[in-house]
Structures are given as structure tokens and as C-alpha cells.
Amino acid sequence: EERRQFIAGYRAQSAFMDSQAGLVLDALEKSGLMENTLVVFTSANGYHLGDHGNLWGSRTLYASAAQVPLIIAGPGVAAGQVCERVVEIMDVYPTLMEHLGMKSPRVMDGESFAKLLKNPALPHDDPALTSVLNYGPHSGVAVRTAFASFMRWGRDTAELYNLQTDPHELRNLAGDKSMSSALRKMEALLEKEVAR
């Protein structure tokens, strides 16, 4: 019963946010500002609703918690398109700066994906780095590509998922000897992204 109430509360919260976003869009439309406004909608984190062995909340590296919505609409943005490329929230600022024809500061962690705003089908192979700082041994870091997700929890626990065949990250392949090459590749990618 408590689980059902929690999920209902989460859905109600999402519906409320949707209605509030609608009010903002309606106000932009009525004021005549919509045609000159770039709208960006995102979130700080996703949320577990009892998945992955009854996890709740957002402090993990799994896609349920790490992936967030990112909707960008406005002048110069391909309308009605879905882009399946992996990007990071820190990429939004340099993307908006480039899209608006403005210069970004020289030193910044994010990288622009402005080309995807016009054509979401273009190649974009940048991985996304996620980290979680929890108390005790449950802190970790992960790297995600369009094809795989690799997580390192503490120093000793690794998880590897094939996102093409297991998009919900339920079958850990880190201990599968046939995946040792992919594991080493993702470990190296994680180290590279952490050092960046």
C-alpha cells in the first residue's frame, strides 16, 4: 500500500510540473514572446520507484536516477524531433551560447551539442559522466555511452551493462569473461572522463 501511494505521489508531482510548464508556455504565447524565446526544460535527477531491487530515490548511478529529461525548443531548433544522443547537463550552457551566436568562456567543462538542435540525427559520441557521493561505501562514478554503461562503486565493485540489449541495466556483465575487452575499454573511458 505504501509503495502504491509513493508512486501515485510521484506521478501527481510530475503532472503538476507538466501543468506549470504549460502555464509558462501559454504566457509566452499570449505575450508574443514565444517566437523569439528558447525554452529549455530539464531536471536535476531522475528517480527510482522500486526498481533495481527495491531502490527508492535518486542517489544511484543507474539510468533511472542519472538520466533526466532535456527538452529544447525555439528558433533554429528542429521541431518535433527526438534526439537519442548522450549529452550532459553541463553541455547545455555552451550549447545555448553557440546556438545564440555568443562566445563561451575559454575554460569550461561542458561541450556544445548545438549541431544536434538543428539535426538530431547527426553523430555525437561524447560519453556522459555521473557521480554519486553517499555516506559509506555507496559512492560511485559511472560513464555512459549510447551502447554501454560502466559503474565503479567505491574501489572494488564494478558494473557493466549493454544498453542495446539491457536498457534497464538489470544484467551486470562485469563478471562475464566474454566481456573482459568491453570492460577494459569502459574502465579506460571512465578514467579518461574523470581526469578531464
Whole-prediction pTM:
0.84
Residue 49 dihedral angles phi and psi, to the nearest 5°: -120, 55
**pLDDT tens for each residue of 88-135:** 999 999 999 999 999 888 788 889 999 999 999 999 888 999 998 877
Say which DSSP state 80 is in: T
User: What's the pLDDT tens digit per position in 154-173?
Assistant: 878 899 999 999 999 999 99
Longest dimension (CA), the chain: 61
For 86, phi then psi, to 5°, come to -85, 125
Nearest to 191 by CA among 126, 107, 129, 124: 129
Q: Which three cell numbers stand for residue 83?
A: 534526439
pLDDT tens, residue by residue, 6-57: 889 999 999 999 999 999 999 999 999 999 999 999 998 888 888 887 788 8
